[in-house]
């Protein structure tokens, strides 16, 4: 059993919220290579539905999304008792001063910068899954 598997032997399930197709293809490839099961949605609105229905083990949330952005989706998920305990890791292209504070204030457990480090992503997420 490797570090990404749970006690049941099931793969940890990641809900990936990403509107850019090339980014989501690459991230899905990396996560599946590292032993995760991946569901992809492209909007914050769809993320709310998928999180409630499918109860992922972790949500990887792009911040810049059309319509509802990733921070707003995070606030709603963290206020909903059905989804509040699911760790949310933000992915952001513009890690500017003040962004980390806004991301943590919205309820994310952490964030990773774009472009993602394809060699460290799985290991980074495994730390949030252990909590």
Q: Supply the minimum distance, in Å, between the C-beta of residue 23 and Mn ion.
A: 7
27 scored as a contact of Mn ion (CB under 5 A): no
Residue, CB closest to Mn ion = 64
How many residues bind Mn ion (CB under 5 A)? The answer is: 3
42 scored as a contact of Mn ion (CB under 5 A): no
In what order do the strands lie in the sheet containing 13-17? 37-41, 13-17, 58-62, 88-92, 110-113
Neighbours of 102 (CB within 10 A): 15
Distances, alpha carbon 90 to alpha carbons 61, 101, 120, 122, in Å: 5, 12, 15, 14
| Cα gap 109→107, rounded to integer Å | 6
Q: Tokens for 41? A: 């949605």
Tell me which of 11, 13, 19, 128 binds Mn ion, using CB under 5 A: 19
Q: Supply the minimum distance, in Å, between the C-beta of residue 20 and Mn ion.
A: 5
64 scored as a contact of Mn ion (CB under 5 A): yes
Considering only 4-12, 58-66, 76-84, 117-125, which stretch makes contact with Mn ion by CB under 5 A?
A: 58-66
Comparison of 19 and 45: residue with beta carbon closer to Mn ion: 19
Q: Is 16 helix (H, G, I), strand (E, B) or coil?
A: strand
Binding-site ranges for Mn ion (CB under 5 A)? 19, 62, 64
């Amino acid at each position: 059993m490797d570090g990404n598997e749970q006690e049941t032997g099931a793969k940890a399930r990641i809900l990936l919220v990403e509107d850019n197709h090339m980014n989501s293809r690459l991230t899905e490839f990396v996560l599946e290579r590292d032993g995760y099961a991946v569901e992809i949605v492209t909007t914050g609105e769809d993320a709310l539905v998928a999180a409630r229905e499918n109860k992922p083990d972790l949500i990887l949330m792009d911040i810049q999304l059309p319509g509802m952005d990733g921070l707003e989706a995070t606030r709603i998920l963290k206020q909903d008792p059905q989804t509040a305990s699911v760790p949310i890791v933000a992915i952001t292209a513009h890690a500017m001063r003040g962004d980390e504070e806004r991301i943590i204030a919205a309820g994310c457990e952490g964030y990773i910068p774009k472009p993602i480090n394809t060699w460290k992503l799985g290991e980074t997420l495994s730390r949030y899954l252990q909590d």
